[in-house]
Amino acid sequence: MATNLKKTDVVIVGLGAVGGVAALPLTQAGLEVIGIEAGNWLTPRDFAPDELRNNFRGWPQSAQKANGEVPTHRPNAAAPYSPRLPIHPMMNAVGGTSLHYWAQSWRLNPWDFKVVSETSQRYGATRIPKSATVEDWPFGLEELEPYYDKVEYELGVSGQAGNIQGKVDKRGNIFEGPRLREYPMPPLRGTEFTELIATTARKLGWHPFPGPAAINSQGFDDRPGCMYHGFCSRGGCPINAKNSTAVSTIPKAVATGRLKVVTLATTTNVVVDEKSGRITGVIYVKGSQEFFQPADVVLLASYTYENVRLLLLSKSKVFPNGLSNNGGQVGRHYFSHNTASTVTALFPFNINNWYGLPAQGVAVDNWADDNFDHSGLDFIGGGNLWVYSDRRPIGAASMTTFGKAPRWGSAWKSFVKQNADRWNLAYIQKTTLPYDDNYLDLDPTVKDSLGLPVCRITADFKDNERKVGAFMQEKMARLFMEAGAIAVDKGPPGTMGPSTHAYGGTRMGDNADTNVVNQWGFSHEAPNLGILGASVMGTSGAHNPTLTAQALAWRTADHLTKNWKAIASG
Ligand SMILES: Cc1cc2nc3c(=O)[nH]c(=O)nc-3n(C[C@H](O)[C@H](O)[C@H](O)COP(=O)(O)OP(=O)(O)OC[C@H]3O[C@@H](n4cnc5c(N)ncnc54)[C@H](O)[C@@H]3O)c2cc1C
Ligand code: SF4
């Protein structure tokens, strides 16, 4: 029997990258907020520069909840299951995965909000793949711009603007939509190698620019600048130069006195009043005890797979197929960013990738989105070329031998010894679309440590993604070869297993028949339930999702504070 707790205004389930952002505007507006977080507080002492611990053993995830619920995957409903990942990529802790992410903090480009209408207008509606379920967003970039701006300045993002209020600056991304002002900090510095790539791109007539990152390039908000120490991928920052929500928005929300953080607490159910159909609170498990936390409004912010899983697990008489799922849309329109179809290059010289971080690099957007003419092509969308600095010993030794040496023995050892610092991998983020047969549901057999079914992914890349992949590989290979590479290796198209960039499943849109939440992030079926994260996004663009998900979270929170009575009391 769950222990009943005192009612609060808002419960946020998960205080990660997006829940940690939403807490700030809510508490600043005077609302009492309880953040129910599966992980614990971590400190810089937890962030050892240790590749084995961070990248292979899944780092101290403070509660190993995520690892017990790694989603299962099959490419389609008739296919066998893929091998299950040994560890979950995401983090359980206050700050969530923003503690150990790479911190690239991209805005989407204008086209990403209007894929259907822009494509139809420019090339004809037949260019949208037949089984794609893609829709235009309910608003354009201009609506989200003020929220991008707020988040960039609250977290601290370094970068070089490419378009300030319509004035294009060639030092930045000339394809970005207009922004109000410069980034709060200049970009992270480049390396000799990323400068070589930038110079080469310019020679090709392309437009290279430094990527934006939620990492201090100089002191910001009493936190120091980055020391480029090289253990940033799946490593937390020992000096707080990486602007996770654990060191930025969450402490500011706690300082208002209105955010209570309940740690090591796993939400298992969102509770509904059987008469009114309204949400009354959540059930969570802490230690061996169960609690009921009543709230006027519940915001789910537990990452795409868990957002969908919690909805599907929360069955009631009013919602027999899972919460907010009477329209059968929970789990639909799922997709994960296409970062397969990689290109690896071998250079005849050392490139000094031992120091630095993966958010420190050079980008080219000439082949992203609809920044180029697709008239003679047979796909829509494109990719972002990104060359960055990141290398640690085990990863370095896992290098491909480019067909120039065997994969074992003394010839392999001497090849790796000579070339461990002479190769570079580009994963190229590419447009991915949602399709009618790509979806999330509950696995019928695999359970987590509480005995609850884990999320199951049924999804694969389709023709459009594979064609974008092959096109982008050509561009990337050309860039590397022009920069002096002596060999390139192109990776396979891959499949859509558990991803760090997982979109959809609770898509946002005005049409209640094809979407779970409305344009403000609130459920079409249960009006005092909000959903935060990339699970509400309907397109991926060619850039990482987190800044967009955070801007959306701020916007949802802002809407809630301005419409509190209507949403909280129905
Ligand atoms: C190695 C790595 C590198 C990445 N690099 C980038 C990058 O450079 N740029 C970028 O944009 N994105 C990047 N990402 C993706 C980025 O981390 C995610 O987009 C972002 O963290 C998602 O935010 P979220 O709040 O939805 O999820 P999270 O940040 O994972 O937060 C979810 C929170 O919910 C909690 N939670 C989960 N289930 C429950 C439950 N049942 N009850 C209570 N609490 C719960 C979790 O403990 C967690 O704290 C990267 C990810 C990884 C793993
Ligand atoms: S590389 Fe910079 S931001 Fe990343 S962990 Fe090291 S000091 Fe922190």
Report the separation in Å between the CA atom of 227 and the middle of ligand 2, taken as the mean of its atom positions.
6
Tell which phi-psi region holds residue 9, choosing left (phi > 0), alpha (psi between -120 and 50) or beta: alpha
Helix, strand or coil, per DSSP, at residue 81: coil
Report the separation in Å between the CA atom of 530 and the middle of ligand 2, taken as the mean of its atom positions.
33
Which pLDDT value is given to residue 61? 66
User: Contact at 8 Å (CB) between 530 and 297?
Assistant: yes
Q: What CA–CA distance (Å, rounded) separates 558 from 439?
A: 30
Q: Whose CA is nearest to atom 8 of ligand 2?
A: 237
Which ligand has an atom closest to residue 89 CA? 1
Which ligand has an atom closest to residue 65 CA? 1
Closest atom of ligand 1 to 19 CA is 25
Question: What tokens appear for 166 in the block?
Answer: 């319509």
> Does ligand 1 lie within 6 Å of residue 235's CB atom?
no
> Does ligand 2 lie within 6 Å of residue 232's CB atom?
yes
Question: What tokens appear for 442 in the block?
Answer: 């509950």
> Does ligand 2 lie within 6 Å of residue 346's CB atom?
no
Question: What tokens appear for 313 in the block?
Answer: 């697990």
Q: Ligand 2 pocket test: which of 237, 247, 353 has the largest number of ligand atoms within 8 Å of its C-beta?
A: 237
pLDDT along the chain (570 residues), means of 10: 96 98 98 98 90 84 85 97 91 95 97 98 96 98 98 98 98 97 98 97 98 98 95 93 98 98 98 94 97 98 98 97 98 94 97 94 98 97 96 93 95 97 95 98 97 98 97 98 97 94 98 98 98 98 97 98 94
Which pLDDT value is given to residue 1? 84
Q: What share of the chain is helix, strand, coil (3-state, %, to 5)?
A: 25, 20, 55
Q: What CA–CA distance (Å, rounded) separates 22 from 557?
A: 6
Displacement of CA 197 from its chain's centroid (Å): 26
> Does ligand 1 lie within 6 Å of residue 18's CB atom?
yes
Q: What is each CA distance from 284 to 1, 12, 31, 270, 288, in whole angstroms?
A: 12, 12, 21, 9, 10
Report the separation in Å between the CA atom of 243 and the middle of ligand 2, taken as the mean of its atom positions.
10
> Does ligand 1 lie within 6 Å of residue 89's CB atom?
yes
User: Contact at 8 Å (CB) between 307 and 533?
Assistant: yes
Which pLDDT value is given to residue 86? 87
Q: What CA–CA distance (Å, rounded) separates 249 from 21?
A: 6
Roughly what angle, to the nearest 10 degrees, separates helices 141-151 and 546-562? Answer: 100
Which ligand has an atom closest to residue 390 CA? 2
Closest atom of ligand 2 to 228 CA is 1
Report the separation in Å between the CA atom of 166 and the middle of ligand 1, taken as the mean of its atom positions.
33
Q: Whose CA is nearest to atom 52 of ligand 1?
A: 101
Report the separation in Å between the CA atom of 198 and the middle of ligand 2, taken as the mean of its atom positions.
23
Which pLDDT value is given to residue 44? 86
> Does ligand 1 lie within 6 Å of residue 360's CB atom?
no
Closest atom of ligand 1 to 106 CA is 11
Which ligand has an atom closest to residue 233 CA? 1
> Is this model's pTM higher than 0.85 or not?
yes
> Does ligand 2 lie within 6 Å of residue 247's CB atom?
no
121 Cβ partners below 8 Å, 6+ apart? none
Report the separation in Å between the CA atom of 93 and the middle of ligand 1, taken as the mean of its atom positions.
10
Q: What CA–CA distance (Å, rounded) separates 328 from 37?
A: 28
Which pLDDT value is given to residue 57? 85
Count of CB atoms within 10 A of residue 393's CB?
11
Displacement of CA 223 from its chain's centroid (Å): 24
> Does ligand 1 lie within 6 Å of residue 356's CB atom?
no
Count of CB atoms within 10 A of residue 407's CB?
9
What is the DSSP code string of 180-209?
SS--SBPPPP--HHHHHHHHHHHHTT--EE
DSSP 8-class letter at 563 = T
Q: What CA–CA distance (Å, rounded) separates 541 from 338?
A: 10
Report the separation in Å between the CA atom of 351 and the middle of ligand 2, taken as the mean of its atom positions.
20
Name the residue among 301, 281, 278 with its Cα closest to residue 290.
281
Which ligand has an atom closest to residue 360 CA? 2
Closest atom of ligand 1 to 20 CA is 25
User: Contact at 8 Å (CB) between 277 and 125?
Assistant: no
Report the separation in Å between the CA atom of 250 and the middle of ligand 1, taken as the mean of its atom positions.
15
Which ligand has an atom closest to residue 531 CA? 1
Which pLDDT value is given to residue 160? 98
> Does ligand 1 lie within 6 Å of residue 102's CB atom?
yes
Q: What CA–CA distance (Å, rounded) separates 363 from 263?
A: 38
